[in-house]
């Protein structure tokens, strides 16, 4: 199971190096890496590999995962504060609904990703 993840990450790293050597724009390489990483569940596999390290591994995964939700929530509050000051009540509501939908989608994706084993 983890051999497949190591193989996927090796291919991703080699593709990144080759793309940068060929002079492909960094933004295209970043977008491609994100798309491949999401569809192959490479990020979840990398997090699982890191979490396997005794004692420190789960802590490292939590240190990187939890602030992501805090940042999204904080961005929602900042957008809300600016929107309320400028009188954009409809935009404020849309931003909060969008943030809630994004967080709900991430949580549902996480649950589905753990229910369906990687083969």
Q: Judge if 98 and 116 occupy the same domain.
A: yes
**Same domain? 60 vs 116:** yes
CA dihedral 69, 75, 81, 84 (to 10 degrees): -100
Clarify whether residues 38 and 71 are in a common domain.
no
Domain co-membership, 107 together with 61: yes
Q: What is the pLDDT along the chain (119 residues), one digit of tens a residue?
A: 567 778 888 888 898 899 989 998 888 888 888 888 777 777 778 888 888 888 888 888 888 777 777 887 787 778 777 777 888 777 777 777 887 888 888 888 888 877 876 66
The total number of structural domains that make up the chain: 2
74 lies in the same domain as 115: yes
Same domain, 47 and 94: no
On whether both 39 and 68 belong to a single domain, the answer is no
Owning domain of residue 70: 56-119
Surface-to-core class of residue 78, CB atoms within 10 Å of its CB (0-12 exposed, 13-18 middle, 19+ buried): exposed
């Amino acid at each position: 199971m983890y051999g497949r993840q190591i193989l996927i990450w090796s291919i991703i790293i080699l593709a990144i190096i080759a793309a940068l050597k060929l002079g492909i724009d960094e933004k295209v390489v970043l977008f491609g890496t994100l798309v491949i990483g999401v569809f192959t569940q490479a990020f979840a596999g990398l997090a699982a590999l890191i979490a396997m390290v005794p004692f420190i591994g789960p802590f490292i995964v939590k240190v990187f995962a939890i602030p992501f939700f805090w940042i999204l929530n904080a961005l929602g509050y900042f957008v809300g504060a600016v929107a309320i000051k400028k009188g954009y009540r409809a935009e404020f509501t849309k931003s909060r609904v969008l943030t809630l939908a994004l967080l709900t989608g991430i949580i549902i994706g996480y649950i589905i990703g753990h229910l369906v084993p990687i083969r």
